Amino acid sequence: MPHPLSLINTRTTTQWGVAAMPLVFVLLWSTGFIGAKFGLPYAEPFTFLFIRFALTLSLLVPLALLLKAPWPRSPALWAHIGVSGCLVHGAYLGGVFYGIHLGMPSGLAALLVGLQPLLTALLAGPFLGERVTARQWLGLALGLAGILLVLGSKLDPGRLLFQGFGLGSLACVVAALLGISLGTLYQKRFCTRMALLSGTVIQYLAAGALLGGAALWLESRQVAWTPTFLLTLGWLVLVLSIAAILLLMALIKQGEASKVASLFYLVPPVTALQAWWLFDERLPLLGLVGMGVAIAGVMLVIRQTGAPAQSRSR
């Protein structure tokens, strides 16, 4: 019979592991914007992402077969998982990478996509039946205010809307915002029976087909296989496309969509610090204040109080 103390230690370790999942996800997810900045000088956005997805699938498919992961039995579930993949991976990553390719700083791209929690919370009620409390609405409002403060600090009254980029770049990142928001809700409602590993494989197959078609149609598909590009690609495949995405799928499965989405408010400040350190992307005092306000909003949204809201996800 196991010693009672060992059971307590095991339980405590498990609780700490579960509690650390959101923090680990934020740290990993924020590096995706930095990876885009490092890799895009050597490959066009859709070509870059197609190669990334192809390499990811070359690792995930054998792993799924080796572990005998269950696959969806109904064509409808295959289709739903494919749609969620096109939104969560295809539209989101395609929009972010193309926006950065057109000149948007990686830190600011992360800040714009950081509006996702507000959009997800607004849609979670009618789409999933989730109840957002008054405290959570306050947190979401603070998060939005923080993002707007940061954007205000980047306004350029000159020819361009913001410093260094124009409306085309902004439109791409807005498309990414819509993709990740709708994809999170769509997956929560229609893909709850999705097995984590096989479902991720299906999502990447769908997103890879989408972005591969875009690369064939819109790009030259030329790649400079430099050491920097290869190292960046390796990081994005192993850490982002496998570790972080599996963690995100697990968080979506176990938590309410609005609470999971609120974690994305924490990504911009982490990304901005990395971008400042690596690329000298700077934010004025107003932007730093906005980051603090956004973080306070996240704490209000994800803090557990009472019983969780009920959802009618299918």
Give the start-to-end residue ranges of the domains of the chain. Answer: 30-302
Check residue 153 and give its pLDDT: 67
pLDDT digits (tens), the chain, 314 positions: 555 444 444 445 444 445 567 778 888 877 888 888 889 999 999 999 999 999 999 999 998 898 888 999 899 999 999 999 999 999 999 999 999 898 887 777 877 787 777 777 777 766 767 677 787 788 878 877 887 777 666 655 554 455 566 778 889 999 999 998 899 889 888 887 888 889 989 999 999 999 999 999 999 999 999 999 999 999 999 888 888 877 876 776 666 555 666 666 677 677 777 777 776 766 677 777 887 787 777 667 666 443 333 333 33
Query: Phi, psi at residue 306, to the nearest 5°?
Result: 75, -165
Bridge partners (DSSP) listed for residue 165: 162
C-beta atoms surrounding 299 within 10 Å: 14
CA distance linking residue 143 with residue 145, whole number of Å: 5
For helices 167-190 and 92-101, the axis angle rounded to 10 degrees is: 170
Q: What is the pTM of this model?
A: 0.75
CA distance linking residue 25 with residue 30, whole number of Å: 8
Provide the token pair at 212: 């591969």
For the purposes of burial, counting CB atoms within 10 Å of the CB of 279, is it exposed (0-12), middle (13-18) or buried (19 or more)?
Answer: middle
Question: Which helix (H) or strand (E) is 269 found in, with range?
Answer: helix 267-279
Separation in Å, CA 306 to CA 17, 77, 133, 252, 309? 22, 33, 11, 20, 9
Check residue 255 and give its pLDDT: 64
CA distance linking residue 310 with residue 314, whole number of Å: 12
Query: Phi, psi at residue 148, to the nearest 5°?
Result: -65, -35
Check residue 259 and give its pLDDT: 64
If phi > 0 it is left, if psi is from -120 to 50 it is alpha, else beta; for residue 221 that is left
Check residue 305 and give its pLDDT: 42
